Amino acid sequence: MTNQTTRALAYFPSDGRTRIMDVPIHPLDSDEILVRITRVAFTRRDRLLLENKQAVLPEGEDFIIPGHSAMGKVIETGSLVKDFEPGDIVVPTIRRDCDRCIDARSDLCPHPERYHDSGLTGAHGFARDFVTVRGRYLIKVPPHLENLALLLAPLSVAEKAHQESVQISKRYNFYCYHESEDVVPRALITGMGPIGIMMAHLLSLYSYKLTVFCRRESDDLRSKILEPIDLEYINTSRVPTQRLEKAGYSFRQLFETTGDPEYMLSVMPFMSPNAVMAVMGAPEHDSEEKILEVDVNRVFSRVVMGNQVLFGSIKAGRDAFESAVKHLTELSDLYGDSLAPLLTDTFPLADYHRLLALGTRDSVIPSLLLT
């Protein structure tokens, strides 16, 4: 490629400015791939980055390129690259590890100082026309999924949490004579962000009786996306969780995606004995400090006496992304175009300010279109 610079959206935390500028294109190494980015999703995490004056910048830089979820097409490959060729549709993974993880499970790295998350902390993201990426950080996308490729990132997070929840639940592998033979495991999803919505779609492929707790009306855009799925939708702004607890609701698997500690505590009583709860949303570092009054004895007593497990899950490794490709194909076949409304409000890079002005409750996954 003759042009050694590319357009990029850059955020400067020192003065809070965001602007389009030219940045260098890293020369192509033998194991790298030149990708032309076609679309970049902008979620709540990306918006919060552009408001964070303490953002962790790439080493030696005074700015960071946002956009942690993107898709693109392969333009050129290094001499050692065998699995990709020009024209392939790809989605980059988010985390960049220290290159010493034997099985590339950087999503479980216990050394936060040794990895970076593209477009979020310590590494540039994908809001630019071209980027060079090592092949191990790219996921090939079948052509029939091109219009839905931006859903792979939130679906991969759902994949990881579900895989780990199932793995933990395998400890409960005995037959109980007091349970009906045709009992269907119940799963609860809280929150209706992109991850919560994709979790509901993923679990619809399995034998779960699904319930969603949310604080949105049933005629809301996000709620309508779930209409093809056989699930129970409960607006907990209208039906308090305390009333649902008295009504006997309980679940074997729970997936909490809101990132609201108060809401998470309010759904813990819905954990049945031996239940597993994945906490997939974390409070933002710059969010307003909350002091909650909690009956700690009651909470821990239920966890211990009920043999319950509570675990955190964030980001996803390559295996989860590959599972996401498989399951997104199944979801596309099963639900047709019903997933498309998730991808709302597309703008050219030059109009990024219009994207940032969108209301977060009305727009699910807005994106920048790069050409």
CATH superfamily, with its number, for domain 5-141? Medium-chain alcohol dehydrogenases, catalytic domain (3.90.180.10)
| C-beta of residue 40 within 8 angstroms of C-beta of residue 70 | yes
Which residues, listed in sequence order, are joined to residue 231 by a DSSP beta bridge?
Answer: 210
- Considering the chain, what percentage of its residues have pLDDT values greater than 70? 92
d(CA 365, CA 342): 6
210-229 average pLDDT score: 83
Per the listing, tokens 């097409």 go with: 73
| C-beta of residue 25 within 8 angstroms of C-beta of residue 133 | no
Q: Which pLDDT band holds residue 10 (cuts at 50, 70, 90)? A: very high
Per-position DSSP letters for 139-208, written without gaps between them: EEE-GGGGGGGGGHHHHHHHHHHHHHHHHHHTT--S--TTS-TT---EEEEE--SHHHHHHHHHHTTTT-
Q: Which pLDDT band holds residue 17 (cuts at 50, 70, 90)? A: very high
Read off the pLDDT of residues 132-146 as tens digits, 9 standing for 90 and up.
999 999 999 999 999
Read off the pLDDT of residues 172-185 as tens digits, 9 standing for 90 and up.
765 566 666 566 78
d(CA 167, CA 164): 5
Name the residue among 100, 120, 129, 114 with its Cα closest to residue 369: 129
d(CA 352, CA 18): 9
216-228 average pLDDT score: 78
Give me the pLDDT at residue 311, please.
95
Name the residue among 371, 336, 324, 325 with its Cα closest to residue 351: 371
Per the listing, tokens 């333009």 go with: 75
| C-beta of residue 140 within 8 angstroms of C-beta of residue 88 | yes
d(CA 342, CA 363): 8
Read off the pLDDT of residues 288-306 as tens digits, 9 standing for 90 and up.
667 778 788 888 899 999 9
The more confidently predicted of residues 293 and 368 is 368
Written in H, E and C, the secondary structure of 80-91 is CCCCCCCCCEEE
Maximum Cα interatomic distance, the chain, rounded to a whole number of Å: 71
Backbone angle region of 337, left / alpha / beta, with phi > 0 → left and psi within -120 to 50 → alpha: alpha
Class of 156-312 per CATH? alpha beta
Which residue ranges make up each domain of the chain? Answer: 5-141, 156-312
Q: Is the pLDDT of residue 64 over 70?
A: yes
339-358 average pLDDT score: 91
Per the listing, tokens 């639940």 go with: 169
Q: Is the pLDDT of residue 227 over 60?
A: yes
